[in-house]
Every structure is written in C-alpha cells, then in structure tokens.
A and B are shown apart, each in its own frame.
Chain A
Amino acid sequence: MSAHSSATSSPLKGYFAVWIALLAGTGLTVYAATLDLAPYNAAVALGIATIKATLVALFFMHVWHASEKLTKLVVIAALFFLLLLLGLTMSDYATRLWS
C-alpha cells in the first residue's frame, strides 16, 4: 500500500518517458498551429494540451498509482465543475442570438 513497495522498481524510466512525451507534445502544438486546419486548429491545440495535462496529473502528480480513491474523487469533482462552468456558459453563448 505504501509508496515503498512500488519504489523497489525504479519509477525513473517512466518519469523520463513522460518528460519526453511532454516536450514532444509542445513541439507538436507549435507545429500544428502553423498548419491551416480550418476549424480544427483550436480542437487540435486543446486536445494536445489535455493529453499533456493528463500525463502530468496521472504520472507526475501520482494520481494513477499512489493516490487514494478519495483523491481521485476530488480530481473528478474539480473537472466536473469546471466542465459545468465552461459547458453551460458556452452552450448559452453559442445558441443565443446576439447582435
């Protein structure tokens, strides 16, 4: 249960792999931004950012391995309310007739 039982096999390899993936993701975002993907530029940029953020949370912040169920609940609750905020606001602005 404690972090020690898993610490016998060194997690360093995983940390460096995530680090390389994050750097590659940054390069990819910059490259993708120079392409004309019409309406998909924002989606691609946000998609890559979300993958990077997930990698940081799961492996650098140890949500994947060493966290309590309660911690996972807090993470999910925070994301849920963030999506509620963004989703309801944007669905309002996207469907109302302004001008």
Chain B
Amino acid sequence: MPDSTVIGLHHEEEHRPELLHHFAEPQQQRDAASLGMWVFLGTEVMFFGGLFCAYLVYRRWYFGDFAAASKSINMGLGATNTAVLICSSLTVVLAVWAAQTARRTLLIGSLALTMLLGLAFLGIKAVEYKDKFEEHHVPGASFSFDHVEIPGHPGEYANPRHAQMFFSLYFVMTGLHALHMIVGLGIFLWLFIMAWKGRFTPEWNTPVEIGGLYWHFVDIVWIYLFPLLYLIDRHP
C-alpha cells in the first residue's frame, strides 16, 4: 500500500468510529470493546459475590429466622419483577440485532421498551420497599419482627436480631441491584438518543452491544436474588 493512501486513510479515520486508528480492523476493535466489558463484568461478579457469600454464611447460621423473614416479602411482586427483567432482556437482544441489521424503528422501539420495563421494575421495587417500611422491617431503631413463627416449627418464634440480619442483606443486595438498574437506565437513555440521531450502523453499534451486556448481567444477578431472598422456605 503506497504511503499516500495510508495518510489519506488516517485522515479519514477521524470520522470513522467503526475503525479507530489504533486498531488493525473493525473486528479487532469490536472484540477489544467486548472483552473490556467482560473484564468489567468479571469485577462485578466479585463485587456481588462478596454479598452472596455473606448471605450464604448467615443463611446457614440462622436458617429458620431467614425463612420467616423471607416469607414476609411479597413473592408475587418479586416474581413479577423477574418476568419484567426477563422481558427487558429480550428487548435488549432485539435492540442489538436491530442495530446490526439497520432496522431503525425496531432499534428505537426496543430501546424505549427496555427503559419502560426498567422503570416498571423500579416502580414495583418501590412498592415492595414501601411495604417493608410500613411493617417496620427496615433495619434500624424502629425495626420490629416480634412473634413471627418460623415456618415448619409451630410455636417457635424467629429471633428479631437474626431476622434483621436478613433484612440488612435484603436491602443491601436489592438496593445495589436497583442502583445498577438506575445506571442501566442512564446508559439506555443515552443509547436511545444516539439511536434517534441515527449514529448506529451495521458497521458500528458497539455501544448497543456493550450496554446490552451490562443489562443482561444485571438481569442475571436478579435471577439469583429472586430465589435466594424471596423463596427460602415457602411450602405450607
């Protein structure tokens, strides 16, 4: 390749987000972006992993108290939220496909629907938190969990201090998850604006793909949170 072409190409690259000058080819750039996101998600696994570990240790110690506390959470709301997030994961995967195949209406619609489902999730979560505040199940000075029977052990009451441990973990884990949802909503609002402006092409749609990876990861965290927090010992 003659030098002049190289220089000419280099000049043009300033306007080509699909091939920045430090990459050899578009595929390499895409792989690098996706690898970077996966490494970040690896750190997120460890971030949430510590909390899951704390949860497992205390659940083992205080199983009956955890079961009683878990039973006080609204299972229907949790199951609905699980379905909402699964649907949002579908709209995300549709958005990525739409961006790759230049379907503008589907892309914009899927991104909007994803945000709507994300907001629905947070709304349902807010209702759930409100219930917990009203029932005095929020750890702190006004916490109360007296005379709640341990499931399967009639006449035995849960230790309020141990139940408080469950609710601490419940609020930290679902709260951290909700924070991730809020960040995700911000990312998807930005993706929506970019898509509206027509910035994404089949050659360059990395932000949609990377943002999608993040959203799916947050979904996976919830897939584990739901059975662990809501369904400890539900059978009659």
A contact residues vs B (CB 8 Å cutoff)? 1-4, 7, 11-12, 15-16, 19, 22-23, 26, 29-30, 33-37, 41-42, 45-46, 48-49, 52-53, 56-57, 59-61, 67-68, 70-71, 74-75, 77-79, 81-82, 85-86, 89-90, 93-94, 98
A74 touches B86 (CB 8 A): no
Q: Is the interface of B mostly helix, strand, loop or mixed?
A: helix
Is B97 within 8 A of A56, CB to CB?
no
Q: Count B interface residues, CB 8 Å.
A: 51
Q: Is the CB of A57 within 8 A of B220?
A: yes
Residues of chain B whose beta carbon lies under 8 Å from any beta carbon of chain A = 26-27, 31, 34-35, 38-39, 41-42, 45-46, 49-50, 52-53, 56-57, 60-61, 75, 79, 82-83, 86-87, 89-90, 92-94, 97, 100-101, 202, 212-213, 216-217, 219-220, 223-224, 226-228, 231-236
Are B38 and A75 in contact, with the CB atoms below 8 A?
Answer: yes
Do residues A33 and B53 form an inter-chain contact, with CB atoms below 8 A?
no
Q: Are A19 and B87 neighbours in the complex by a CB distance under 8 Å?
A: yes
Decide: A53 near B231, CB < 8 A? Known: A12-B97, A16-B90.
no
Contact A85 B50 (CB under 8 A): yes
**CB within 8 Å: A-B pair count:** 130
Q: With A29-B226, A29-B231, A60-B216 in contact, do A77 and B42 touch (Cβ < 8 Å)?
A: yes
Q: Would you mind naming 13 contact pairs between A and B with Cβ atoms under 8 Å apart?
A: A1-B27, A15-B90, A53-B223, A56-B220, A56-B223, A57-B216, A60-B89, A61-B216, A75-B42, A81-B45, A82-B46, A86-B52, A86-B56
- Who on chain A is nearest to B86 by CB? A22
Q: Which residues of A contact B202 (CB under 8 A)?
A: 4
